[in-house]
Amino acid sequence: MKIQNYVQGKWKSGEGTELEVFNSINGDFIGSVSSLGLDYEAILDYGRKVGGKALRKMTFQERGLMLKALALHLHKNKKKFYGLSAATGATKIDSWIDIEGGIGNLFTNASLRKQFPDLPYYVDGDGIPMSKGGSFMGHHIMVPKQGVAIHINAFNFPIWGMLEKIAVNLMAGVPAVVKPSEFTSYLTELMVREIIDSKILPEGALQLVVGKGHGIIDHANYQDVVTFTGSAATGKMLKGQENIVQNSVPFNLEADSLNASVLGADAVPGTPEFDIFIKEVQKEMTVKAGQKCTAIRRILVPENLIDDVEKALANRLAKNTIGDPSMEGVRMGALASKLQVDRVRANVEELMKSQNIVFGDLDNFDIIGGSKEKGAFFSPILFRNENPLEKTDVHNIEAFGPVSTLIPYKGIDEAVEIVKMGKGSLVTSIITADDNLATEFVVEAAHTSGRILVLNESCAKESTGHGSPMPLLTHGGPGRAGGGEEMGGKRGVLHYLQRTAIQGNPQTITAITKQFQVGAKQPEANPHVFRQHFEELTIGDTVFTHKHTVLESDINNFAQVSGDNFYAHVDETSLEGTIFEGKVAHGYYILAKAAGMFVDPKKGPVLLNYGIDECRFIKPVYPGTTIGVRFTVKEKINQEKKSEDDIAKGIVKFMVDVYDQTGETVALATILTMVKKLDQSK
């Protein structure tokens, strides 16, 4: 069977055979892989011109709903991926992480639409006044790059590795060309077939190259983004390619690293934290057979506890059963391929020159089911390194399998120094119930780690664990880990956008950003904005309210009703040494009074007011001050119907500008309202 590429709108077999792939459990032939003969220049151009053009026409809201629909579709059909996932050596739990973890990434990124405007581009930050008279200002917008995301992924997570990346670039409005590892590309191909057949994504938004992909980045340009997940050596080689350097192609490198987990000095045997530590280390050694870029490679333990940890960890590893994931009782599957077995074995043998194996055997171990000769099975190997400051292979050599090393440390400062010897990690963890110890460690070790997990009894039951990157947090790390960032929620989406400063008159900037900018025109709304449906409202339209003179009785009454008897509002004799010249009105009274002034009370399209943003009380309001309100349509965000019976509506942000008789603003806020649509079909 030929594992096929999906390029330029067609499924296509590469010329000849670059690689034959086999079931890692029993050695059965799965198929042949090739990308030879593919025209990468045409593939990238197709993505830019077809997929990119379609995605850039969509707003963030539409892209988010597209991701949600795709996530729902894949979740509904998730069972079809588990059978083939087992061929990669994955247990059911391993497959769950890969398949449902990847789909979960789609769901999470879909929800990010609520943090973006109802536009194809993003308005970044606040406007910046740049002239005395207010006729000239600056702002920033971020538009989708007009290129493609080229994702070069590792073999260990054929589905998660693809979905966690494309979820971000698709949300940004950028198409993707995915090149999974050829060794497990058969599982990625199955997922891509399901995605393409669903027709949820616009054509050209996703292309797949299943072979070695030599030359895929040779035609990348400055509008493209290349991401690489895999070994540090390969990643740095690709990042240094002439085309990448000459064309300043953005390159995100997420490399395997020598991650560490530290046992706090307080976590002695008998404490919950000691047991949590043992369980976490064993899990990270054996989940996906240790084939995780976030796996624990260095186990740092107070020197007085290392014997206890070795004994407890060896006992737990001894209960680990290896074999065919379909067999009852199997808790660890195989490595992804026989080639990976050879690579891990070579690195273990290299590490054996400077440290001792205290658990496991390269040759003598039992399996349940499968084929030890044809499969890719490997025993967990636990080393012990008594002198990590001088025997430094452990800080330089990574065996990408179920392999880790016990390391003693004398104090928290030395633990930090040992962690740093890994030259940059994706993740570090510390298991301790001592928050002072945790704080000291985190502050000192953060500069060398992309993520730090502090684990103790209080969070252990709900913790996602040392090795699990989460969609809303950045995934990456400095130095050896590649210096890149993936995911990270909104931060990840922004990687695929070009930030551009824009300058002009506030009216022009309002037109571009679709957000009201101070200094732009404020035509009087007719009718009142609360009488208009979502579609009828125009950015900048303003209600100019009647005026109200604040009386001392207003302040006294509000204090009585609210219970807010702060001295500045009720006791004029206590104002010496303050900024106030006399009894001052409550800020919340000013805001409440403003609402009474700008609200049209009759039933209409406004369904509810559900929040206030950016509320500021700028100038004291004393008795005798006359206030008015400029109530302006600031921004509109479309909202999808949750069901056919749901009311079609949108979110409208209104600027509440309360000013005094001098024309100066005394309070400024943004209120959020839900406004009914005129067209209830959308």
Enumerate the active-site residues: 254, 293
CB atoms within 10 A of CB 160: 20
494 φ/ψ angles, rounded to the nearest 5 degrees: -65, -20
Write the single-letter amino acid at 533.
H
Encoding tokens for residue 22?
A: 């086999």
Write the single-letter amino acid at 222.
Y
Instruction: Give 40-77 as a DSSP string.
Output: HHHHHHHIIIIIIHHHHHS-HHHHHHHHHHHHHHHHHT
Contacts of 247 (CB under 8 A, 6+ apart): 220, 221, 222
C-alpha–C-alpha distance, residues 88 and 102, integer Å:
16
C-alpha–C-alpha distance, residues 495 and 612, integer Å:
30
Give, rounded to a whole angstrom, the gap between the first and last alpha carbons of the chain.
46
Pairing of strands 428-431, 452-455: parallel
Whether the bond between 527 and the residue before it is cis, its omega within 30 degrees of 0, is: yes
Pairing of strands 606-617, 626-639: unpaired
225, 147 in Cβ contact below 8 A?
A: yes
Strands (DSSP E) contained in 67-200 are 122-129, 137-144, 149-152, 176-179
Write the single-letter amino acid at 224.
D
Maximum alpha-carbon separation in the chain: 92
Pairing of strands 497-504, 137-144: antiparallel
